[in-house]
Each structure stands twice: as structure tokens, then as C-alpha cells.
Amino acid sequence: MFYTIGQRKKWQRILYLILPVLSVALVILAYALVQMRLPALLPDAGELWDRFLRTFTNPIKEAGLPGHIWASLRRVLIALLFAWTLGISFGVLIGWNRTCKALFGSIFELFRPIPPIAWIPIIIMWFGIGEFPKVLIVFIGSFIPVVINTEAGIRMVEKEYIDVGRVFGAKRSQLLREFVVPTALPSIFAGVRTSVSCAWTVVLAAEMLGADHGVGALVTRGWNAGDMALVFVSIICIGIIGAILAFVLNKLEKVVCPWNN
Amino acid sequence: MEQLTSGLVVEHVTKTFFNSGGYFTAVEDVSFSLNDGEFLVILGPGRCGKTVLLNMIAGIEEKTGGSIRYNGQEKTGAHPDFGMVFQSLALMPFKTVMENVELPLKLRGVPKGERRETARHYIELVGLTGFEKSYPHELSGGMKQRVGIARAYAANPKVLIMDEPFGQLDAQTRYSMQNEILRIWEAERRTVIFVTNNIEEAVYLGDRIILLSDCPATVKETYPIGLPRPRDMVSREFLGIRTRISDNTDLAI
Ligand SMILES: Nc1ncnc2c1ncn2[C@@H]1O[C@H](COP(=O)(O)OP(=O)(O)OP(=O)(O)O)[C@@H](O)[C@H]1O
Ligand SMILES: [Mg+2]
């Protein structure tokens, strides 16, 4: 078979539109097949749908499904906002300034390998189980990847760019703004993307260990009550929200880093 | 030696790179002075140390010996009177053509409207009008080189350093850019240090040619070129100088 380039492009476009739909469909199909064979392991679609509707009619702890999602999302977003601003600033600082790297670098290296979930008992002992400790744990978890990627990105700046800056008379602050930070942006975005998934991991863990509201609390409740459909509904919600966030970040990256495609 | 207090004086400049395996001398004992308004061509074989020498003059590479003085003062680091066209192009991939060209003006704090106007002028001069919003990765090698040239022009330096600026241009564009650089040089009375490995280009452009030896670069010979401009590349005098230089070069360049 021979195609002209134009035809091939068109076929590829269609293919790339179909493939994602197809793969999702396959997963759903696989779920359905397994479900039919082993109904004890997985709830069927009707059950899931019923359970989904019942989260609205029978609120859990006075909150419907949107209320629980919002409780988690709010913790994640507040923590991420702080993680991004502080993490990017800190990453730039230790990536750019030798003295700061020497001062804070080793402290950071010490904290960095500790899984954020390990902080949960300590922080609960210190601050109880209110809003602040949860946001704090999520912050710790998402701060670290932002710092790591920002610092790596800052270090990636080529000597040549700095040479251009020096020849044309850039001050040190201008070197940072005009040459170094733009070079690091794609890497910073990679850190931001990672931080989102870290934030979800940590918020779920924190909520599962002690919270009235939040998707993690729903999972724990479903677990304790043997309500598998509720667990699945919660998990699917997390997947969908995560996908939406990733999509928004991708669009944002295209706007902020238009040269990087 | 009567120009010691003005212009650029390079004396006994040497550059030795040290690394774990030992050392390597790229430039050795190079001396020359640059007259105000002069078009000086530095001609040398490939990998002989031309870029290293220019980088020391531009102030982005440390020298390991000798001195470089400008207006009577030791020149350490970059100087606002100097601008440079980089052999490696050194365009910012994250800036558009317009943003790359206006960058030197932006660094100096020139207001946006004004610097855009200047940049647009030089973008037009190098024939890139219509590509202001393109990113470097969307341009051909020759187009990128022209962005680098426009950027250096926009900086409006007294001394313009050009490191093989026409290396990636096709023959046609190369000729027109050679004439263009001469036009700008004559119209705006700049001083130019122009590096090339092309003898014909050197003889066509230079008031004076400094011929470098193979690595480490030393000054092999200096040729004042007295030919009137515009020069005729097939005239007897032109070809004579060309042959004299090419007979004296270390390798085929
Ligand atoms: N940072 C460095 N460390 C070690 N050696 C270097 C360094 N920079 C350049 N050199 C060496 O110095 C020599 C001269 O390099 P340079 O780039 O100045 O050559 P050039 O004359 O500009 O060559 P071309 O015509 O290819 O541009 C080369 O052999 C190169 O390997
Ligand atoms: Mg070179």
C-alpha cells in the first residue's frame, strides 16, 4: 500500500485520536471480563453506578461526594500553592547560589530521602488531626520534587548563555531572569507535574489515617464497612481528577514554554 | 606604538588549558593593537585557537598570560563598548527572533518600544523580516546566524567582534552579508575584529590581516591590505595578495 505524505499525516492524526479511546475501552472491557469471572473481587457497573448515586442521596458525615472531593482537593491545592512558590524559590536559590547550596544543600539531602508518609505520625502527634497538619504533610511531599527538578534545571544552563549575558552586559539578577530561569522552566514544570501526583498520594494517606472528610476518608470507610463499591467509586474519582489536573498543567506548560514542543 | 592610550592593545597574550591529563596551549604570545575604526581580520586554520583568542578579548575567557588593555586600562571581563557575534550562534532557544535581537538593549534597560524599533531595523537589515515571532529551532542554520549578527548590531558596540559570522551561510547570502557588513562599518564608523578561515573573505574585507599559525595560535604575519573598496576579487592585486597569504599558511584552510 502506498500513501502520499498528506494521507499518512491524516491517518496518523485519526490513529492518535482513536488510540487513547481504544485503550481506555480495553481497560473497561478487561474489568468487565474479570468482574464476570470473579464477581467477588470487583463490583459490577450497575453496583458502581448505584453507589455513585447513593453518595449524593446518603451523605457520609454530612457531605456528598463533591464535598469529599472538595475537601481533598482543597488540601492538595493549598499545599501545592505553597510547595510551588517556596519549592521553586528554594530550588533556584540552591541551584544558583553556591553559598546557599553549601548552607542548605546538605540539610535538604538529609530530608529528601524520607518518604513524606513517614512524617504523618510525627505531625499528627504535634498538631493533631485538623486541617493544618494534613496540608503540612501534603506540602512536605510535594515540595521535594519541585526543589529537585528546579535545582537540576538551573544547573542545566549552558555556559554559552551566560557568556552571551556577560558580553552584552547583564547584571547578575538579569542573568538569572533572562537566561537561567527560562532554561530551567521545562524542568521546573516536570517538578510541578510530579508534585501533583505526590500531593495526591500523600493526601490520601493522611486522610486514610484520620479524617472525617476527603476521598481518603471515603476509601477507609468503604474498607472498614466492606463497601467495595465505595472504594472503587473513590478511586475512580481520584483518577479522573488527577487526569484533569495533568491536562490543565500540560496546557499551561504550552503557554509558558511555547518553544518547548 | 603611539596609540597606547586609546583603542585595544593585546600584548603577549597566552592561553593554556590545564586538565587532569596535563596542559594544552591554544594561544601563545599573541600581540597586536587595534586602530580606531579599523577593519581587522584574523585569519587562521581550523581549530588553531581563534575562538579562544576572541573570547579572551571579549572578556569571557581568562587569559593565562600577557595583557589586554582598552583605552589605556587593563581589560578584565566584558566591557560595554564590545559586542560579539558568536561562532556557536548562542541564541536563546526560549526567546523569539525579536526577543533575541533586542536582548542587549533589554539588558541595558532600553524601554520596550524603543528597543523593538531598533531590533526591527536590524532584523530587516539581515533579511529576517516576517520571522520576528519564530523560535530559533524553527530557523535554518544560516537564518540563525543572521539572528546572531542582528543581535550584535543591535547592541551598537564600538568594537564589534565577529567569530566566523558567515560560516554557515550559502555563497549568495555570504557575498551580500560581506557587503552589508562593510556598508555598516563605513556608515557607522565602528571598529571590527573579524575572524575567518577563508582567505578570499579576509582579503575582501580587511584593512589588515593577522595570519595565525596552526595550534598553538601565534601571529605568523601581518598583512596591511591597501586595496581600495569595493574590491574586485579577480583583479591582479587581489589574487596576488591571496596567493601570497595562501603560500604562507600552515594548512590548507
Ligand atoms: N575549554 C577548553 N579546554 C580545553 N581545550 C580547549 C578549550 N577550549 C578550546 N580548547 C582547544 O583549543 C583549541 C582551539 O580551539 P578554538 O575553538 O579556539 O579553535 P578555532 O580556531 O576557533 O577553530 P574553528 O576554526 O574550528 O572555529 C582546540 O584544539 C580546542 O580543543
Ligand atoms: Mg572558532
Q: What is the pLDDT of residues B107-153, one digit of tens each?
A: 999 999 999 999 999 999 888 999 999 999 999 988 999 999 999 99
Examine the domain organization and report whether A81 and A9 are in the same domain: no
Indicate the angle between helix axes A228-256 and A65-96, nearest 10 degrees.
40
CA-CA-CA-CA dihedral for B100, B101, B104, B109, to nearest 10:
-90
Do both A146 and A250 map to the same domain?
yes
Residue-level pLDDT at A39: 87
Whole-number pLDDT of residue A94:
94
Q: Does A36 fall in a domain?
A: yes
On whether residue A77 sits in a domain, the answer given is yes
Would A261 be classed as within a structural domain? no
Pair A7, A82 in one domain: no
pLDDT of residue A3: 60
Position A223 scores a pLDDT of 92
**What is the pLDDT at residue B4?**
46
Domain presence at residue A226:
yes
Q: Domain ranges for chain B, please list them.
A: 1-81+157-169+179-226, 91-156
Pair A151, A229 in one domain: yes
> Do both A123 and A242 map to the same domain?
yes
Q: Which of B 74-103 lie inside 8 A of A, CB atoms?
A: 77-78, 80, 82-84, 86, 88, 90, 92-95, 103
Global confidence as pTM: 0.85
* Residue B119 in contact with ligand 1 by CB distance below 6 A: no
Residue B171's CB is within 10 A of a number of other CB atoms, namely: 8
Q: What angle do CA A4, A9, A12 make, to 5 degrees?
A: 125
> How many structural domains comprise chain A?
2
Domain with A183, as residue range(s), is 46-256
B1-81+157-169+179-226: CATH architecture: 3-Layer(aba) Sandwich (3.40)
Q: Which CATH number goes with the domain that contains A214?
A: 1.10.3720.10
Task: Confirm whether A28 is domain-assigned.
Answer: yes
Q: Distance between alpha carbon B25 and the CA centroid of its chain, in Å?
A: 22
Same-domain check for residues A161 and A199 = yes
**In terms of domains, do A29 and A51 share one?**
no
Q: Is B134 on the interface with A (CB under 8 A)?
A: no
For the stretch A132-143, pLDDT in tens is 999 999 999 999
Q: What is the 3-state secondary structure (H, E, C) of A57-119?
A: HCCECCECHHHHHHHHHHHHHHHHHHHHHHHHHHHHHHHHCHHHHHHHHHHHHHHCCCCHHHH
- As a whole number of angstroms, the distance between CA A83 and CA A199 comes to 10
CB neighbourhood size of A183 (10 A): 20
> Which whole-number Å values give the CA distances from B66 to B76, B210, B235, in the listed order?
12, 18, 40
Find chain B residues with C-beta within 8 A of A165's C-beta.
107
Same domain for A34 and A55? no
Q: Is residue A203 part of a domain?
A: yes
- Residues of chain B below pLDDT 50: 1-5, 253
Cell numbers placing B25? 596551549
Q: Is B211 on the interface with A (CB under 8 A)?
A: no
Which residues does chain A have with pLDDT short of 70?
Answer: 1-6
- ipTM comes to 0.90
- Residue A246 has a pLDDT of 87
Beta-carbon contacts of B215 under 8 Å, excluding residues fewer than 6 positions away, are: B26, B47, B48, B49
Ligand closest to the CA atom of residue B45: 1
| Amino acid letter for position B82 | F
Is residue A177 a part of any domain in this protein? yes
